């Protein structure tokens, strides 16, 4: 599924709409260069889960932030990951398969640790404030999620 947004607000609204379809244990892998809108999208998802979007900061130096909404939201950012092994030290799998939703910025860094079943969202910079948002699914659970999203967007 591919959509184009024309403003940060529109990307945020996409995240809010997406959040309505999320279930516990869902994993969203965000990809895209600096400033492509990964954090903005996460703010939208948070907002859709009843978390104030102002609370959501770029967790660049923290690796993970935890927010309490209608479901827990685990927000990862692996941009500055000093060492691949730190991801394993984080015990990330406990978060991924817990009662909440995981959103991972710079998910490319996960390499072979990338979950088998997840939703991958790739953001690409376009002209002016345009962003192309491409949504793909790996595995059965997130395949169903993508199906629901396509239906909601009439694609």
Per CB under 6 A, does 105 bind ligand ATP?
yes
Asked if residue 123 lies in contact with residue 132, where contact means CB atoms within 8 angstroms, the answer is yes
Instruction: Please spell the DSSP secondary structure of 111-138, one letter per residue.
Output: GGGS-SSEEEEEEEE-STT-EEEEEEEE
Site pattern 112..131 for ligand ATP (x: CB under 6 A): -----------------x-x
Which residue from 1, 3, 8, 25 is in contact with ligand ATP, where contact means CB under 6 A? 8
Q: Which is nearer to Mg ion, 65 or 142 (CB)?
A: 65
CB of 129 to ligand ATP, least distance (A): 3
Site pattern 38..77 for ligand ATP (x: CB under 6 A): xxx-----------------x-------------------
CA gap 28, 92 in Å, rounded: 13
CA gap 95, 63 in Å, rounded: 13
Q: Of 7-15, 16-24, 68-76, 145-153, which part binds ligand ATP (CB under 6 A)? A: 7-15
CA gap 63, 28 in Å, rounded: 15
């Amino acid at each position: 599924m591919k959509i184009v947004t024309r403003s940060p607000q529109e990307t945020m609204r996409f995240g809010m709409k997406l959040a309505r379809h999320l279930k516990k244990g869902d994993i969203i892998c965000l990809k895209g260069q600096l400033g492509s809108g990964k954090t903005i999208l996460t703010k939208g998802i948070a907002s859709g889960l009843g978390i104030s979007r102002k609370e959501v900061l770029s967790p660049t130096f923290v690796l993970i932030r935890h927010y309490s909404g209608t479901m827990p939201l685990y927000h990862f950012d692996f941009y500055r990951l000093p060492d691949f092994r730190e991801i394993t030290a984080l015990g990330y799998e406990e978060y991924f398969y817990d009662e909440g939703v995981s959103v991972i910025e710079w998910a490319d860094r996960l390499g072979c640790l990338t979950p088998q079943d997840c939703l991958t969202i790739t953001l690409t910079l376009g002209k002016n404030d345009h962003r192309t948002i491409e949504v793909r699914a790996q595995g059965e659970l997130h395949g169903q999620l993508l199906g629901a999203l396509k239906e909601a967007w009439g694609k």
